[in-house]
Amino acid sequence: MVITVLFLAVGSVTADMISYTSRTDRFELMWNNAEDSERYFMSTEIKAYACGLTTNEFIFFARVVEGEGADSDSDITDKVLVAATVLNRINCSSWPTRTVMTTLQRPGQFEVVDPDTGVCNCARSLDSEWAIVIAYRMVAANELDCHMVYYNALGFTGYSRQFTDYAYFGGNYFSVIPCDCEHCTETEPDWVEEDVEMLTDPIYRPDGVGPHYF
């Protein structure tokens, strides 16, 4: 009887694993054989998988990015930088949170997240989903300063007086903060605060893709 129970349990797990592997293999094949203009319109589930997130994590992330970032007909820079700020905080050991959800739901950090319930009621868009994909890509390629962990909240204007100016897009002022944690030191070993250059180049949607922030 014990052997039979163990066999059935293992068989059940194996079936689930096969189903999961089949689905993720299909996602990977679709993603790797597509252009960005096609990936932009792929399902939320596929984009979440491409970022290493669960679908629920990705949806919540996209809602926060949509609520904190500005809409623009020309580019998605503001939303990408909002998402990158979250990823930089996760990577930096000077910050207390290590996951997307704990970082986004940390009280007092994001205006669109209720500090008591941790709920964000903003609707996500294709722009905010794609901004997350691009943020992961740019952070992994070290195309943005890893010390960019701060931007002003909605309803405020101007850079922080405590930190170094880094970028301004769509109403948000992004700043860099000195940090000597292991990640920041390894990522940018020659980083000097006085040498920080302002980020001015916009980040665009894929070629042929118009605005989708509604």
Query: pLDDT by residue (tens digit) across 34-47?
Result: 999 999 999 999 99
Q: 174 and 199 in contact (C-beta within 8 Å)?
A: yes
In one-letter notation, the amino acid at residue 203 is I
Q: pLDDT tens digits for 169-184?
A: 988 999 999 999 999 9
Mean pLDDT computed over 11-25: 67
Q: Each residue of 138-169: pLDDT tens digit?
A: 999 999 999 999 998 655 667 877 899 999 99
| Cα atoms in the Cβ-side hemisphere of radius 13 Å centred on 113 | 20
* Angle, CA of 201, 43 and 124, to the nearest 5°: 60
Contact indicator for 211, 128 with CB cutoff of 8 Å: no
| SS3 assignment for 172-196 | EEEEECCCCCHHHHHHCCCCCHHHC
Q: Whole-structure pTM over 0.85, yes or no?
A: yes
Whose structure tokens read 């999961």?
Answer: 20
Cα separation of 16 and 19, whole Å? 5
Q: Is the separation of the CB atoms in 99 and 90 below 8 Å?
A: yes
Give all domains of the chain, ordered by start, each with its CATH number: 54-195 (1.10.10.2520)
pLDDT, residue 152, reads: 86
